[in-house]
Amino acid sequence: MWILIAKLALAEDSAEGSATPPADAPAETPPEAPPAETPPPETPPPETPPPETPPAEVPPAGPPAETAPPLDLTEAEAAPTVSKKQLRLFKPSPYHLPANPRQQIDFTAYTLEFGEVKLGIASMTVGLLPHVQVGTSVPLDVLGIPNVHGKVHVTESGPWDIAALGQYYVLPRKDFSGRYIGAGGIVSIQPVEPWSIHLGGTWNNWNVAGDIQLDNLSQLLWFLDESAYGNADHADNILDVTTISVRAATDIRFNRRDSIVLQGEAIVYSTVNTSDELFVPTFLGLEEALERDGAVPITEAGVASIAWQFAWEHYELRLGGGISSVPGAWLLQSTELSYRFGGKTRLKERRMRQTWEKNSDELKQGLDQADDQKKKK
Which residues constitute the domain of residue 147? 117-211+238-346
Q: pLDDT tens digits for 72-118?
A: 666 666 656 666 666 666 677 777 788 888 899 999 999 999 999 99
| Alpha carbons within 13 A on the beta-carbon side of 218 | 9
The pLDDT assigned to 12 comes to: 54
Q: pLDDT tens digits for 48-58?
A: 555 565 555 55
* Residues written for the chain: 377
186 falls within a domain: yes
CATH code, domain carrying 179: 2.40.160
308 falls within a domain: yes
Cβ atoms 198, 249 nearer than 8 A: yes
Distance CA 325, CA 12 (A): 157
181 falls within a domain: yes
14 falls within a domain: no
- Using alpha carbons only, give the angle 86, 91, 92 rounded to the nearest 5 degrees: 150
The pLDDT assigned to 159 comes to: 82
The pLDDT assigned to 5 comes to: 53
316 vs 158, higher pLDDT? 316
Phi-psi region of 115 (alpha: psi -120 to 50; beta: other; left: phi over 0): left
On average, the pLDDT of the chain sits at 77
Distance CA 111, CA 104 (A): 8
Phi-psi region of 328 (alpha: psi -120 to 50; beta: other; left: phi over 0): left
361 vs 256, higher pLDDT? 256
Q: pLDDT tens digits for 183-214?
A: 999 999 999 889 999 999 999 998 887 765 55
Mean pLDDT computed over 254-273 = 92
275 falls within a domain: yes
Say how many domains are in the chain: 1
33 vs 152, higher pLDDT? 152
How many angstroms separate the Cα of 56 from the Cα of each of 59, 63, 223, 302? 9, 20, 100, 91
203 falls within a domain: yes
19 falls within a domain: no
Of 197, 295, 307, 289, nearest to 247 by C-alpha is 197
55 falls within a domain: no
The pLDDT assigned to 144 comes to: 85
- Using alpha carbons only, give the angle 79, 81, 87 rounded to the nearest 5 degrees: 160
Q: Which residues contact 21 (CB under 8 A, 6 or more apart)?
A: 27
